[in-house]
Amino acid sequence: MLVGAVADLAALVARSALNCDAVATLAVAWPELLVAGEQAATLDTLLGAARDARRIVLSWNPSTLTDFLERHARRAEVIGTPAPAAGPAGAARYAVVAPSRRAAALREALDLLDPKHPLVWDGDPAEPAATPDAVFCMRLPTREQFATLSRLSPPVVFVTGAQLPYLRSIAAPLTPLHLPSGADLAHDRAEALRARIAERLEARDHDAELALLDPLFERYDPAEVAGAILGLLRETASGKRETASPPPTPAGWVKVFVNVGKKDRASAKDLVGALIRELSLAKADIGRIDVRDTFSVVEVTPAVSERVVRELTGVTIRGRRALARLDRYA
C-alpha cells in the first residue's frame, strides 16, 4: 500500500520510481478539494498513468464530480447514501484549528461560551444523560451524526482548512467562532492588572510605599515611576520563571492540572470517581492526586494523558465544570 499527496505521487511517476502498471487498486480521497484547483491536471495525469487500476472514489458530494467521474470512473457503483437534495442538516459554528491544538481550543471555547451542561463529542454515539446546552465536535461528523448532534444543540465543530468545504455541505447557516487570540489574552491580563491597581488605590493602603517613592517623584514624573515599577516586576517574574527548577515527576507518570480543588469541596476520591466513571479509566492508570485549595494535580500514565485532558474537560465535579491541561511544571 502506498499513500501520498497527488503532487508527491506524480513526482515519483515522473522519476520512474513508481510503476503505475503494477497498481491494482487506486483510491482517490475527497477529489472535491482537487478537481477545481491547481492540482486538477496533475490528478488527471496520475489517473491516466494507472488506467488499468480499479478506481475507488471517496466523496462527500458526488453531484459536484460529474465531469471527473465521467473521465475516470464511468458507470461507477455508488455505495452509501448520497448527499440529500434537501441540503444542510442544521446550523453550526466552527473554528479552524490544527488537530494538535483541538484540546486547547476546546478549553478556550468552554471559557468563551461558559455552558452549564456541555457535550464534548469525539465520535462516540451521542447519548448524553441530560440535554446539553452546547455541543463541541472534536472530530468531523458524518451527515447523519451531524443531524443527530444538531438536534441536541447547534454544534461547535473544530476543523482544518481542508475540512471546511465538507462542513459547508452539511451545515448552514455556518458561522465562525472567534476564539481568543494571543492579543486578546494579553488585553485581558492588562485589564485585570489595571483593576487590581485601581482597587489598591481606592483602598488607600499604600502610604509606606508612597514614602519610599517620594524622592523619585521629586526627580521624575509619577507616571514614569509607575511604568518603571511595572517593568521591574515583569523582569523579576521572568527571572523566577527562568531559574525555577521544576519539581521532579516520578518516572512513568504524567501530571495533569485540573481547576477543581478544596474550595470546591472536592477530594481525591471525587477526582478518582470522575476518571473511572466518566472516562472508564483503569485504576492502574491513576497515580497520586494532590488536591490544593483552587486546583488539583493528577498523575496518570502517559498512554492516557491526552485522553484525560480531552475528556475530563467539561465533566462536572462537585458542581464545577472541570478544565484539564498538562501541567506545565511537570
List pLDDT tens digits, range 115-173. Answer: 888 888 887 776 666 688 888 998 888 888 888 888 888 999 998 877 888 888 888 89
pLDDT score of 238: 56
pLDDT > 50? residue 57: yes
pLDDT interval class at 297 (50, 70, 90)? very high
- Binning the chain into helix, strand and coil, the percentages to the nearest 5 are 50, 20, 35
Q: Domains for the chain: give ranges and CATH numbers.
A: 6-72 (no CATH), 90-176 (no CATH), 254-326 (3.30.70.330)
pLDDT digits (tens, 9 = 90+) for 210-223: 777 777 777 887 77
DSSP per position, 175-220: EE-----HHHHHHHHHHHHHHHHHHHHHHT--HHHHHHHHHHHHHS
| 89-93 average pLDDT score | 88
| 242-266 average pLDDT score | 72
pLDDT > 70? residue 86: no
Judge whether 18 and 26 are in contact, CB under 8 Å: no
pLDDT interval class at 184 (50, 70, 90)? low
Within 13 Å of residue 196, how many CA atoms lie on the same side as its CB? 7
pLDDT > 80? residue 234: no
pLDDT > 90? residue 65: no
Distance between CA atoms of residues 281 and 315, nearest Å: 14
pLDDT digits (tens, 9 = 90+) for 265-279: 899 999 999 999 889
Judge whether 325 and 305 are in contact, CB under 8 Å: no
pLDDT > 70? residue 20: yes
- Average per-residue pLDDT in the chain? 80
Out of 61-70, 99-108, 245-254, 321-330, give the one with best mean pLDDT. 99-108
4-5-8 Cα angle (round to 5): 85
Distance between CA atoms of residues 287 and 206, nearest Å: 46
Distance between CA atoms of residues 296 and 12, nearest Å: 53
pLDDT > 60? residue 310: yes
pLDDT score of 187: 61
